[in-house]
Chain A
Amino acid sequence: MKRFYLVGFALLLAFDSLNLVCFKMAGAHALPVEVSTAWLARVFAHPWIYGAVLGYIGAFVTWMSLLKHAPIGPAFAASHLEVVSVMALSWWLFAEPVRPTQIAGAIAIVAGIVCLAIAEGDEGADAHAVPA
């Protein structure tokens, strides 16, 4: 089960990041932003938008697979690791500044997910002791 969650959340993070980076690139290529068919045509003329769509579909399939076993409360919280990866990627790929408070928030998110991972390990031990 540990491996199931590890692979699942890693895949979810990868698809979410793909989605985000592709959206950013598609948006940048389609400037200026306007509510018009011409702008939509520009967005869909670039291959980036299809990467974003692939990211959406991949993330959906991964999420539905994770929820087969994962409880929704902790899983939804853990999916916010995306906030940290988005921050890291926007800093690394797009040279966007990261503020100290944002780093503090990121540390709290990672600490929370570590707690959830440890809690899940305990639950796993329980499950073995009392087969459902």
Chain B
Amino acid sequence: MHGLVLALWIANVLLDTAGQLAFKAAAGDERAGDGLARWRYMFARPWIWTGIACYVAEFVVWIAFLSLVPLSEGVLLGSINIVAIMIAGRLLFREKLSPLRVTGILLVAAGVAIVGAGS
């Protein structure tokens, strides 16, 4: 794999993982309350903005990545993000990883990889 492609791919995995964790940190804050007040609370704090910034940067990186690699390979590599976010959720939010959950997540990741490989 070309160096630039590899760098863009790693950047994509890191930005996707960081962005989703930031969104979870914003959305999971129990002090935020409900309804419109919850949105006011979230937008007054940095986590949701961190997530949005990661998402925008990821979009640029993804477009650059796809200019070098066919979309099908991009989809194939995207399956890694699912596993990365599962592990990060376990480490940072202590999410329970029961055998059935791990099986489900790995099946989805495998399915996404197969769709990418077969396109």
Contact = CB atoms under 8 A, between A and B. Distances in A.
Interface of A: 63-68, 71-74, 76-78, 80, 83, 87, 99-102, 104-116, 118-119, 122-123
Interface string B79-119: 00110011111100101111011011111111111111111
A68 B98 contact: no
B113 to A, nearest CB: 7
Interface of B: 20-21, 23-24, 26-28, 38, 42, 48, 75, 81-82, 85-90, 93, 95-98, 100-101, 103-119
B87 to A, nearest CB: 8
A71 B82 contact: no
6 contacts: A66-B27, A72-B20, A80-B112, A101-B118, A107-B111, A108-B107
A74 B105 contact: yes
Contacts of B89: 71-73, 76
B4 to A, nearest CB: 20
B104 A77 contact: yes
B97 A73 contact: yes
A61 to B, nearest CB: 8
A76 B93 CA distance: 14
